[in-house]
């Protein structure tokens, strides 16, 4: 039976007038309206709109979210969407994100208001995840299309996508398939309705046919533009992370507040020192405070000059710089034990300009409370009155200053403001030490430290410690006590298998944070076949999420089997295969990461508190923000500020932070960034061209059996 598409009988102009949208916006001879740089996100509680909101939030792009599941939500009507400011018509939102092409009941006044608003001001609409149907410009999947799992599918950006909003991608868009037992992705693949003005941007092969179906495409109809997305996703999945920038680029026309980059920085701790090796018989690390076997003998892992040569060659090949967090006492002790010889230090110092260097304290001492190691796990030692014994201000300061002095004598190119304490000690560490060492802040001030590394798995947010601001670092699951792949696999099996399988049972005791392996990994193949892909995927996820936080490993991982390189190569190789040359990975040093995070915090607070006003009128963008709060913005190529090029080139756009000096920021857009014409109608004919979005979309929630939340990382 042929389905009848419900349409509106009102003309565009009559509909706009009936709903109270200012009619001047629809007339070419009227003054250009003001378009506020803010996105309206209408959510049904599903993962797709949540993912887009998360992308906007991470970039610092202002948005307003309406939750359709809340009874106290605002009503979307003409007055909510548009008004008049200083005698000029104002559109309060530059784009609209809906859960699907029409999430409202039949005959909804709210959908009618949105339709009229989009027509009047040329506002684009993103259908975050919708069913393929004529109302969205696509044929029903039953007509030669497909609906079902797309786990492991390799989608492709079309020529139109690469010349348009997805030009930062090389073409491939691989869909995740991380588990053979869990459905991770679901999609409707279909082709445009005959006569519809529909341009696919991302396609995939329709199983069993020679055709390709749209996953992301633009549908122009009845004076409106929709970005139609027909696959489900959550904010963490790689396929969304790859396409998120393009979705935002499309909806904003490249004119928006906020900025996004792909970052990857790697800190290598304990350089010049040695790391003790995991003991597979004792299932602990001799030399560690928790490895109490009296017969346990430490077995040190330390880089060699050949490892330095390999690191230098690797960096040059990859055009990537590692940050070496060093402990000078490691070399001093080695020379003392070897008649003054230390070939490793000699080679590192000779090649010092190849790396970035960070003070990691002289001896890697624990700088928090004094540790009582008579019990396992250790506890903080106490004074007779029960108060905590803290490492003194003098001892903390000496560790920092002595290492700095050693580095200066060695000619290391240091930034005195950066510090990584041993084990991030001095900062609180639960459960033993619930507060910072009060002497840490004083010692940081003594040494003019401004950026202090912290463990992102404990403290993902920045905070102040005396004069310093923390820089959270991601720990990689490449263990500090492993120089050989076999050692890494043995310890991994101990942590991530059940007691019945010979493991520690940690995963059984902590199922909320640690996922048990189904079986122990093969010592010969487990590292390359399981650990490397998992760590590559996790780190690449951070890179694709506009997250500048650095990752950290240890010098032991660059020694012996050099087990860090397969993971690092996996991240960089995957990135290079996915992104165009105009979108390089950014490799910042610690202080620049800290400053980026700090700027973001100040900006988000200003946006949240309503202290930012930004809008576009014609080819002029105006941003008013509090004095001292830097403004992030992304604009088309050719945008100028006071006659000079704005920002920096990245991903085919211009973007960057602009310091606020108490006056509005004014940018001039190029002629190529002319706003979409309001109230125009597609020239395409056919049945889909008449669809006005008034027929509600069918339910498009995540299908049964498809995982909606991200699968938690093993180990937390």
Instruction: Verify that 294 and 223 share a domain, yes or no.
Output: no
Residue 12: predicted pLDDT? 47
Residue 660: predicted pLDDT? 77
Residue 251: predicted pLDDT? 98
Instruction: Verify that 336 and 205 share a domain, yes or no.
Output: no
Residue 689 and residue 668 in contact, taking contact as beta carbons nearer than 8 Å: no
Instruction: Verify that 626 and 655 share a domain, yes or no.
Output: yes
Q: Lowest mean pLDDT: which of 181-195, 304-318, 500-514, 687-701? A: 687-701
User: Going along 568-676, which residue ranges are E strands?
Assistant: 613-617, 620-624, 631-636, 640-641, 644-645, 648-650, 653-658, 665-668
Instruction: Verify that 250 and 286 share a domain, yes or no.
Output: no
* 522: region left, alpha or beta (phi > 0 left; psi from -120 to 50 alpha): beta
Residue 531 lies in a domain: no
Residue 17: predicted pLDDT? 56
* 107: region left, alpha or beta (phi > 0 left; psi from -120 to 50 alpha): left
Residue 480: predicted pLDDT? 97
Per the model's pLDDT, the better-predicted residue between 173 and 688 turns out to be 173
* CATH number, domain with residue 92: 3.40.50.880
| pLDDT digit string, tens, across residues 554-586 | 999 999 999 999 999 999 999 999 999 999 999
Does 664 score more than 60 pLDDT? yes
Burial class of residue 393 in the structure, from the number of CB atoms within 10 Å of its CB (0-12 exposed, 13-18 middle, 19+ buried): middle
**Domains: count for the chain:** 3
Q: Lowest mean pLDDT: which of 318-322, 347-351, 512-516? A: 512-516
| pLDDT digit string, tens, across residues 166-202 | 999 999 999 999 988 889 999 999 999 999 999 999 9
The mean of the pLDDT values for the chain is: 92
| pLDDT digit string, tens, across residues 34-56 | 999 999 999 999 999 999 999 99
Q: Lowest mean pLDDT: which of 3-7, 94-98, 300-304, 657-661? A: 3-7
Does 294 score more than 90 pLDDT? no
Q: Lowest mean pLDDT: which of 290-304, 339-353, 381-395, 461-475? A: 290-304
Instruction: Verify that 223 and 296 share a domain, yes or no.
Output: no
Write the DSSP assignment of 17-44 as a string of letters.
Answer: HHTT--GGGG-TTSPPPEEES-EEEEE-
* CATH number, domain with residue 279: 3.20.20
Instruction: Verify that 309 and 254 share a domain, yes or no.
Output: no
Cα-to-chain-centroid distance, residue 209: 36
Using DSSP's 3-state secondary structure scheme, residue 494 falls into helix
| pLDDT digit string, tens, across residues 237-286 | 999 999 999 999 999 999 999 999 999 999 999 999 999 999 999 999 99
Instruction: Verify that 314 and 255 share a domain, yes or no.
Output: no
Instruction: Verify that 328 and 435 share a domain, yes or no.
Output: yes
Instruction: Verify that 219 and 284 share a domain, yes or no.
Output: no
Angle 130-131-132 from CA coordinates, rounded to 5°? 115
Residue 555 lies in a domain: yes
* CA-CA-CA-CA dihedral for 432, 434, 438, 439, to nearest 10: 30
Residue 295: predicted pLDDT? 83
- Alpha-carbon span 580 to 574, nearest angstrom: 12
Of the chain, the end-to-end C-alpha distance in Å amounts to 52
Per the model's pLDDT, the better-predicted residue between 690 and 122 turns out to be 122
What is the mean pLDDT of the segment spanning 381-399?
A: 97
What is the mean pLDDT of the segment spanning 615-629?
A: 96
Instruction: Say what the pTM is.
Output: 0.92
167: DSSP letter: T
* 171: region left, alpha or beta (phi > 0 left; psi from -120 to 50 alpha): left
Residue 567 and residue 558 in contact, taking contact as beta carbons nearer than 8 Å: no
User: Going along 177-241, which residue ranges are E strands?
Assistant: 186-189, 197-205, 212-221, 224-229
Residue 204: predicted pLDDT? 98
Note down the domain range covering 49: 16-259+677-690
Residue 21: predicted pLDDT? 66
Residue 681: predicted pLDDT? 42
Tell me which residue of 355, 249, 326 sits closest to 587, measured CA to CA: 355
Q: How would residue 673 be classed by pLDDT, with cut points 50, 70 and 90? A: confident
Q: How would residue 207 be classed by pLDDT, with cut points 50, 70 and 90? A: very high
Instruction: Verify that 314 and 333 share a domain, yes or no.
Output: yes
Instruction: Verify that 188 and 142 share a domain, yes or no.
Output: yes
């Amino acid at each position: 039976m042929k389905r009848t598409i419900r349409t509106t009988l009102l003309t565009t102009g009559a509909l706009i007038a009936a709903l109270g949208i200012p009619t001047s916006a629809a007339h070419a001879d009227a003054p250009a309206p003001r378009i506020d740089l803010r996105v309206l996100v209408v959510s049904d509680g599903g993962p797709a709109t949540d993912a887009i909101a998360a992308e906007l939030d991470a970039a610092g792009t202002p948005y307003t979210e309406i939750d359709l599941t809340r009874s106290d939500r605002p009503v979307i009507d003409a007055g909510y969407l548009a008004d008049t400011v200083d005698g000029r018509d104002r559109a309060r939102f530059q784009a609209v994100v809906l859960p699907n092409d029409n999430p409202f009941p039949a005959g909804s006044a709210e959908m009618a208001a949105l339709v009229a608003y989009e027509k009047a001001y040329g506002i684009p609409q993103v259908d975050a995840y919708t069913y393929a149907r004529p109302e969205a410009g696509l044929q029903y999947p039953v007509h030669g299309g497909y609906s079902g799992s797309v786990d492991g599918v390799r989608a492709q950006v079309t020529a139109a996508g690469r010349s348009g909003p997805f030009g930062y991608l090389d073409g491939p868009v691989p869909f995740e398939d991380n588990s053979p037992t869990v459905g991770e992705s679901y999609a409707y693949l279909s082709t445009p309705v005959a006569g519809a003005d529909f341009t696919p941007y991302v396609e995939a092969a329709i199983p069993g046919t020679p055709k390709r179906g749209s996953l992301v495409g633009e549908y122009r109809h009845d004076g409106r533009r929709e970005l139609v997305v027909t696959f489900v996703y959550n904010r963490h999945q790689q396929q969304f992370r790859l396409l998120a920038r393009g979705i935002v680029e499309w909806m904003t026309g490249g004119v928006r507040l906020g900025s996004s980059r792909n970052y990857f920085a790697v800190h290598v701790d304990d350089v010049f020192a040695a790391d003790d090796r995991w003991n597979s018989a004792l299932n602990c690390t001799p030399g560690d405070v928790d490895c109490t076997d009296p017969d346990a003998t430490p077995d040190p892992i330390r880089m060699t000059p050949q490892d330095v040569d390999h690191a230098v060659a690797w960096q040059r090949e990859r055009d990537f710089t590692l940050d070496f967090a060093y402990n000078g006492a490691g070399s001093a002790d080695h020379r003392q034990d070897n008649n003054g010889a230390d070939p490793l230090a000699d080679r590192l110092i000779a090649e010092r300009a190849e790396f970035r260097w960070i003070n990691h304290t002289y001896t890697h001492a624990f700088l928090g409370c004094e540790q009582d190691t008579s019990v396992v796990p250790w506890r903080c030692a106490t004074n007779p009155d029960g108060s905590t014994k803290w490492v003194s201000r003098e001892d903390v300061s000496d560790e920092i200053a002595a290492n700095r002095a050693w580095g200066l004598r060695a000619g290391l190119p240091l930034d005195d403001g950066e510090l990584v304490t041993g084990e991030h000690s001095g900062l609180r560490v639960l459960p033993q030490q619930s507060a910072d060492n009060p002497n840490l802040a004083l010692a940081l001030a003594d040494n003019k430290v401004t950026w202090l590394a912290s463990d992102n798995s404990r403290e993902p947010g920045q905070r102040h410690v005396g004069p310093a601001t923390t820089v959270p670092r991601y720990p990689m699951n490449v263990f500090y006590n492993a120089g050989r792949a076999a050692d890494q696999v043995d310890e991994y099996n101990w942590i991530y298998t059940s007691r019945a399988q010979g493991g520690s049972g940690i995963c059984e005791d902590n199922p909320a944070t640690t996922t048990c392996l189904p079986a122990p990994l093969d010592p010969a193949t487990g590292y390359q076949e399981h650990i490397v892909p998992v760590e590559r995927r996790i780190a690449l996820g951070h890179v694709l999420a506009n997250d500048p936080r650095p990752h950290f490993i240890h010098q032991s991982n660059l020694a012996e089997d050099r087990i860090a390189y397969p993971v690092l190569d996996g991240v960089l190789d995957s990135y290079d295969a996915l992104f165009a040359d105009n979108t390089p990975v950014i490799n910042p040093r610690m202080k620049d990461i800290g400053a980026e995070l700090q700027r973001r915090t100040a900006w988000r607070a200003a946006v949240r508190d309503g202290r930012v006003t930004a809008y576009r009128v014609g080819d002029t963008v105006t941003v008013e923000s509090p004095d001292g709060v830097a403004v992030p913005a992304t604009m088309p190529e050719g945008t100028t500020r006071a006659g000079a090029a704005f920002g920096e080139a990245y991903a085919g756009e211009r973007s960057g932070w602009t310091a606020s000096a108490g006056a509005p920021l004014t940018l001039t857009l190029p002629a190529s960034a002319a706003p979409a014409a309001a109230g125009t109608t597609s020239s395409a004919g056919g049945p889909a061209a008449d669809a006005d979005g008034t027929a509600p979309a069918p339910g498009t929630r995540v299908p049964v059996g498809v995982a909606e939340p991200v699968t938690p990382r093993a180990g937390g």
